Structure 1
Amino acid sequence: MAVNHTEAMPPQLRAARVRKQRVIKAIILTFTLLFLFVPLVSMFVFTIRHPLSGKWSLDPWIAIFTGDGSALGADLSTLWSGLGSSMGLCVVTVVIMLLLMVPTMVIVHIRSKQLERAIEWVATLPLTIPAIVLVVGLGPIYRWLSADVLSTNPIWLCFAYVILVMPFAFRALAVGLNSIDVKTLCEASRSLGASWPRVFFRVLIPNLWQSILSASFISIAVVLGEYTVASLLGRMNLQVALYQLGQSNSQISTAMSLLALLFGVILLVALDLISDALRKSKESNES
C-alpha cells in the first residue's frame, strides 16, 4: 500500500514545508505582478506627466472622453475612425469565423478523426507564417478585390483577420468538442427523431457555449491588437490610428492604448464570469 510521504511527516516539518511553499508562491506571484503592472503604471504616469515640462495633468484623458483634442494639437477624428473600423471588424470577423469553423469542426469531429487532424494542421499554419509574409500573399488579392469587386473600406480586412484568428478559435472550439461526447449526443437525438439542424442548434450548441464565447473573445482581442496587416495593406484600424495619433500627441495615443488593454482585461474577466455561470447552471440542471 502506497504511503503519502507528506502525511507521514511530523506535524512540525509538515507545517514548515507548507510555510516554505507559501513564501515561494508569494514571491513568484509578486514578481509576476510587478512584471505585468510596472509597464502599465509607467504608461499611465507618462499620460499624466508632460515629458518636457514635468507638469502633471489629466488633459490627455479629458481629451479622449470629451472627444476634443484640439487643445493638445491632436485631431481625434482619425482615432474615432480607426476605433469604429476595428469594432466593425470584430463583429464581422467573429461572425464569419463562427459560421465557418463551428459547423465544420462539428461535422469533422463526428465523421473523421484523420480529417480533423488535417484541419488542425491547416488552422495552425497562420501561427508559423509571419504576418508580413501573409500580407505579401494577400496584397494582390486585396488589390483585385478593391479595384474590381469590393472597395477599399477597412471592413474587408475581415477575410484576412479570419485567417489570423483561426488558430486561437480552433483550439478553443476543439477543447469544447473534446469535453463532451458528441457522437453519443447526436445518436441519441437522432434516435428520438430530431433532425440534424435541431441536433446542431438545440443539443450541440448549448454544450459548446463556453468554447464559442472563448473563441469569440480571443478573436476580438486579436483583431483589436492587429497592426501589421492593416498598415501594409493601407487600411485604417485602431492600431494604425494610434500610430498616426502618436506622431502628433504620444500621450493621448498611450492613454488610448491603456484603454484598449483594459477592454481586453474586461473581456477575459467577462469570459471567466460567464463560464462560471454556465457551469453552475449546467450543474444545477443536472442535479
Structure 2
Amino acid sequence: MTGRLVRTGLLLVFAAFFLVPLASLLNFSTKDVFTGERTGAAWRALVEDPTMSDAIRTSLTLAVLTVVGMVVLLVPTMVWVRLRVPRATRLVEFLCLLPLTIPALVIVVGVKNVYAWVDYFFGDTPLTLAFAYVVLVLPYAYRSIDASLSGIDARTLAEAARSLGAGWLTVITRVIVPNIWPGILSAAFVAIALVLGEYTFASLLNYQTLPVAIVLLGKSDAPTSMAAALGSIVLAFVLLLVLSLLDRRRHVPRSK
C-alpha cells in the first residue's frame, strides 16, 4: 500500500512538472493582454501569418528529410560494419559520437564555408539544413540503433539469408531492419524532436524555421509566440504518437 502511494505521488509530481508549464503557455496565449478576456487571436495568427505557416512547413519537411537521411546513412553502414568489418566498429562509433562533444555553435562556424558549396549545388533553401541535422542527430541515433543491433544475432541472420540466395540489399531491408525496427523508431523520435527544436544552426545560417520564427515573433507578439511554442510541442507529441501507433500495428498479430 505504501509503495503504491509513493508511486502515485511521484507520478503526480512528474505530471505537474510537465503539465504546469504547458498550462501556463496555454493560459498566456489565450488571454488578451489589455482586457484579460479569453481569445483565440494568437492561435488564429499561426494560420493566418504566412511567415509562421512557411516556417511550420519547412520544419516538418526538414523532419522528414532528416529521418530519411539518418536511416539511409546510418543503418546500412552499421549493419555492414558489424557483419563485414567488425574491427571498424570503434571508429564508426567515434565518428558518430563526435558531434556530441563539439558545441553546435562551433560546428556551424566550421561548416559555414561548406554551405556555400551546398547552396551552389542545391540552391539557397532552408531544406539544406537536413544535411547538418543528420550530423547533429548521429550520436543519439547511433546509440539507439546499436542497442537494437546488439540484441539480435545479425551475423547468423545474414548468413542464413545469404545461403538462401538473398542479396545484401535484401538482407538489410528484409531481414535486419525488421528486427531492429524499435531502435530505428527511437532514432526517428529523437530526430523529429531535434529538428523541431533546433535553433542555433538555422539562426546563424539565416534560415527561417519554426524555432527561429518563434524567437523573432516573441519580440513583437508574445501571445502568438507562446501559442507557436505550445503548438510545436503538441505537434512533436502528435508525430511521435503516430510513429508509436504505427510501430504497435506492426506487432499486432493478424487474424487468420
TM-score after normalising by structure 1: 0.82
1:62 aligned to 21, 24, 44, which one? Answer: 44
Give secondary structure in 1 for the equivalent of 2:38.
coil
Give secondary structure in 2 for the equivalent of 1:194.
coil
Q: Is the 8 A contact 2:118 2:128 kept in 1?
A: no
> In structure 2, what residue type is equivalent to 1:185?
L
Give RMSD over aligned pairs.
Answer: 2.0
Which residue of structure 2 aligns with residue 278 of structure 1?
250
Mapping of residues 189-268 of structure 1, within 5 Å: 189-268=161-240
TM-score after normalising by structure 2: 0.91
Structure 1 residue 39 displacement after superposition: 0.5
2:98 matched to 1:128?
no
* Matches of 2:170 and 2:117, distance apart in 1: 40
2:25 matched to 1:43?
yes
Give secondary structure in 2 for the equivalent of 1:254.
helix
Q: Is the 8 A contact 1:110 1:182 kept in 2?
A: yes
* Matches of 1:263 and 1:201, distance apart in 2: 29
* Matches of 1:145 and 1:96, distance apart in 2: 16
> In structure 1, what residue type is equivalent to 2:11?
L
Give secondary structure in 1 for the equivalent of 2:219.
helix
Which residue of structure 1 aligns with residue 50 of structure 2?
77
* Matches of 1:171 and 1:202, distance apart in 2: 22
* Matches of 1:151 and 1:199, distance apart in 2: 36
Q: Is the 8 A contact 1:175 1:211 kept in 2?
A: yes
2:140 matched to 1:158?
no
Give secondary structure in 2 for the equivalent of 1:42.
helix
* Matches of 1:58 and 1:194, distance apart in 2: 57
> In structure 2, what residue type is equivalent to 1:161?
Y
Q: Deviations over 1:139-187 (max 9, x none)?
A: 12123433x4343211111111111111121122112212211111111
Q: Which moved more, 1:209-218 or 1:175-184?
A: 209-218
Which residue of structure 1 aligns with residue 90 of structure 2?
117
**Percent identity for Structure 1 against Structure 2:** 40
Q: Deviations over 1:215-242 (max 9, x none)?
A: 2232122111111110011111111111
* Matches of 1:27 and 1:170, distance apart in 2: 35
Q: Deviations over 1:19-42 (max 9, x none)?
A: 111111111111111111111100
Q: Which moved more, 1:172-181 or 1:32-41?
A: 172-181
> Where do 5+ consecutive residues of structure 2 fail to align?
none
* Matches of 2:137 and 2:178, distance apart in 1: 23
Q: Is the 8 A contact 1:44 1:255 kept in 2?
A: yes
> In structure 2, what residue type is equivalent to 1:149?
F
Q: Which moved more, 1:41-50 or 1:251-260?
A: 251-260
Q: Deviations over 1:110-132 (max 9, x none)?
A: 13443222212221222221111
